[in-house]
Chain A
Amino acid sequence: MGNSRHLGLMLLAPAGIFVILFFLAPVVLTAVFGFTNMSTATGISGGAYVVSDSTMLALKERYGEQELAERLLRKSYVIDEAGLQAALEGGAARPTVEELREKYLGASFGSRREVERLLKKLYNRPAGIRQIKKIAAGFERSVVNVRYDTPEALLAAIEGYGITLTEAQKEALAEVSYTGWVFTAQNFKTMVELPDTWRTMANTLFYVFTTLILFNTGFALVLAIATHYMPDRPAGFFRSVWLLPRITPPVLYVLMWKWLAWDNGFLATILEPMGFAPRNWLLDTPANAWTFIILINGFVGASMGMLIFSSAIKAIPQPLFYASEVDGASRWQQIRHIILPQLRWPILFITSYQTLSLLTSFEYILLATNGGPGGATEVWALATYMKALNNYGGALQYGYGAAMSLVLVVIGVALSLVYLRMFNFKALTESPKIEQ
């Protein structure tokens, strides 16, 4: 008994690993990223400690360290023994180093370019710009714009150049000079503060529930019931036709809708003689855009429900229909009292499954309206994608995007729980009373 239990665990282990890697880990990572300010500029893999114009501006403003900031920003290159030694070790020719020592020992410069120019003027000029840059870098005696991996390395370098810092200054410097991301709850605060957040949320709920009720369950149910009462062959044909949007590649499918709706497309062409000025029907008003988006998504989404409901209706024992017909039941009564009660399970399944998939799906909206006109059809998942991964300015905000995704995860879980309750999941999974 014990052995077989272990065997079961072992057999499940690969699946478990996949579940953890591909399902659990992304959610956990999203949650972690959501509490950071990670962006293109901060990078993902971690930052460096840099003394630069912008970090020193922060040192001045946040900590009032005017003098220190200016001192740190002073660039300095000094021809000293240490630099000459480094040049020799780096492969510089001895005559070059000797000439430098003889003529310029102790000289200091404000930029590396000046040192490079000096090296180029030497009688024993180093061969090639690569060598020149290497030697010049060895004379640098400041930390400006150098990337240090740890604050200790930065502070050690600063002290090495003879600048002593107090503990408070060290702490301040470590904080402002860091270019990477930090943990913060700011994303959620920002999200609540922004008016567009609420508009996007309202858009999302409207999109999900309208598409769901009208098409993904409603129309799917109509199709399933209608085809149930049809002879097999035409029923099969209709079902196949309704599968077409699902199997057409999304880019092509949306392009066909665009051809229909563009201001020199099909709709504009046939409506023009009727007195409607040509216009982009897809993007003309928010109402138009929503109509198209719901149709585009609904036609794709209805097919899955149709298949599930059709097969569920097929599974209803045929004698029930015969008996009802003997009793004189109308089609409506059959639907009302036989089909719908039997479809409770599949309706629950389709409703929750499609809610979750609509919540996270945005590809058709991206292709059709890209959230337009003026953000009127921007849904949460699209906004998340735009913030985190794809925008014109290239400002990818991974942290904020992750925070937005996390909200979606929470909404998804909450809605699933509501559905289970609404459809009385417990009763559905109870063992049949007759067998007790």
Chain B
Amino acid sequence: MRHCRKTLAALAASSMLAAGAGTALAQQEVTISVWAIAGSTENYRIDAIKMAADILEREYAIRGEDLKINIESKTFTQWSEYKQAVTLAGEAGTAPNIVVSSHTDIAPWAQAGIIVPVEDYVDLDAWPLNDIYPNLVEIASYQGQVWAIPQDTESRPFFFWNDYMKAIGYSDEDLAGLADKVRAGEYTLQNVLEDAKKMQDAGLVEPGKGFWPRPSNGGDFWQFYMSYGGEFATDDGRLLFDREAMKGAYQFFVDAVNLGVTRKNHLGTPWDQWHGALTSGQVGMWHGGTWQYSEWTGKYGLDFFKNVTFTLIPSGGNERGRANTLTHPLVYMITRQDNEDEMVISGELITIASEPRINALHAIKSAHLGITRSEEKVSLYADDRWTREATEVLLPFATAAPNNPNFGQYFEVMMSGLQAAWTGQKTVEQAVADAEKELKAALGDKIVIR
């Protein structure tokens, strides 16, 4: 009897093993790699995909399919390295399945065949994708196709240190109404220079710290081109170089240096020095990004609403000038792969990752703005004062850079001209003329010079 029981147990064990082996064979396992540019608070660019993988596995299981999704991830912090890595991996046929990058990468990567139109893999008519703000879907589109799913959005305001503004004569009411004045074009970049100078003259801030621009290369500087009436592209999709607006933007920084409110070698200042100075009240005015709020209030302990007022970037004060802000949404893109299944699963993952509750985690943790209307109903999101106010004051006036395969080149030329003028290597006229010459030579009829 005892012997018999042993045999039975052995049989049971072996049948269980066999059953286990059977399951293992039926299981479909897929590895999806995701690359993202992500600072310390931006882990949900990747984590949202991991959460989505968990949900998707459960959905497949309910449908009776045993799918195991492994997520491999890699993050970068420098744009230039990130874009280089994705581009070269794409050329080598080893691109990750999903990339989170700038919407301005859509055009070149689409033309090169590195990415596929996301609309071929996801249902844009189904929730949550049908709930994404239409202007964001527009920003993720190129040549009439939707190529990517917005991952977050932001904008780039102008900031004022309250105490110093009050010390040079602004009342609390003035500060409360500043955003409206800026929007109406009544407070211009010329006022910025004057007030920065006043703060320095009054000894509130050290020379060269009246106005601190972003310390490195970045899309933010296009805002000053827009402040003077500049536009990115013509109606038929060609890039546009507006000579007068570019001159205005370059001249603004040169004036700031000549007045002594901005340092001539400001570009290249280490980021931590920049954050540290402006969150400790060493700087009168600056411009930055909405997402930096999380770093300022977290790492640097800034009491934001007590100390800081924010507005659009003021108009240049010329006739065509306008207050503005740039939004630079990051997007999820699917890369071209030989394995169709992987592309389909990538699409499913991106769709789930865009759900309001998951996206709100990223939005609030990293101080970005949400992508769907329903996100405003997620309490984590709705309870956040910064997100709410930034959405109201800034987003309705936000402009995005164009999706054009040659915009990256235009960007480089614009920036190197600005740097040359700012640091005094070239006069403003010379810098604008050289930029124009280079763009004409490099892009020919793909850019309109006006």
- For the complex formed, measure the closest distance between the CB of B90 and the CB atoms of chain A, giving whole angstroms: 8
Q: B residues within 8 A CB of A374?
A: 416, 419-426
- Identify the stretch in B43-51, B75-83, B154-162, B368-376 within 8 Å (CB) of chain A at 4 or more residues: B75-83
Question: Does chain B have a CB within 8 A of A96?
Answer: no
Q: Is the CB of A391 within 8 A of B412?
A: yes
A43-B112, A374-B426 as given contacts; A129 in contact with B126, CB under 8 Å: yes
Chain A residue at minimum C-beta to C-beta distance from B207: A277
Q: B residues within 8 A CB of A389?
A: 84
Chain A residue at minimum C-beta to C-beta distance from B446: A54
**Which listed residue (B84, B91, B268) contacts A283, Cβ 8 A?**
B268
Q: A residues within 8 A CB of B79?
A: 392, 394
B contact residues, total (Cβ < 8 Å): 68
A contact residues, total (Cβ < 8 Å): 60
Question: Does chain A have a CB within 8 A of B318?
Answer: no
Q: Is the CB of B409 within 8 A of A43?
A: no
Question: Does chain A have a CB within 8 A of B191?
Answer: no
Chain B residue at minimum C-beta to C-beta distance from A288: B265
Question: Does chain A have a CB within 8 A of B55?
Answer: no
- 1/0 contact trace for B261-273 toward A, CB 8 Å? 0011101111001
- 1/0 contact trace for A19-62 toward B, CB 8 Å? 00000000000000000000111111101100011100100010
User: How far is A43 from B114 in the complex, measured between Cα atoms in Å?
Assistant: 8
Q: Is the CB of A44 within 8 A of B265?
A: no
- 1/0 contact trace for A174-210 toward B, CB 8 Å? 0000010000000001100111100000000000000
> Taking each of A189, A196, A369, A374, which has the highest tally of chain B beta carbons within 10 Å of its own beta carbon?
A374
Interface residues of B in 403-450 (CB under 8 A from A): 405-412, 415-416, 419-426, 434, 437-438, 441-442, 445
Q: Is the CB of B237 within 8 A of A53?
A: yes
Q: B residues within 8 A CB of A145?
A: 117, 143-145
Q: Is the CB of A190 within 8 A of B441?
A: yes
User: How far is A179 from B218 in the complex, measured between Cα atoms in Å?
Assistant: 28
Q: Is the CB of A395 within 8 A of B421?
A: no
Q: Is the CB of B144 within 8 A of A373?
A: no
Question: Does chain B have a CB within 8 A of A405?
Answer: no
**A residues neighboring B (CB under 8 Å):** 39-45, 47-48, 52-54, 57, 61, 75, 113, 116-117, 120, 129-130, 132-133, 144-145, 147, 179, 189-190, 193-196, 262-264, 277, 279-280, 283-284, 286, 369-370, 372-376, 386, 389-397, 400
Task: Show 9 A/B contacts (Cβ-Cβ < 8 Å), sorted by A.
Answer: A41-B406, A116-B125, A120-B125, A283-B268, A372-B423, A373-B264, A374-B419, A374-B425, A389-B84
**B residues neighboring A (CB under 8 Å):** 79-81, 83-84, 87, 91, 102, 104-105, 107-109, 111-114, 117, 119-126, 143-145, 207, 217-218, 236-238, 263-265, 267-270, 273, 344, 405-412, 415-416, 419-426, 434, 437-438, 441-442, 445
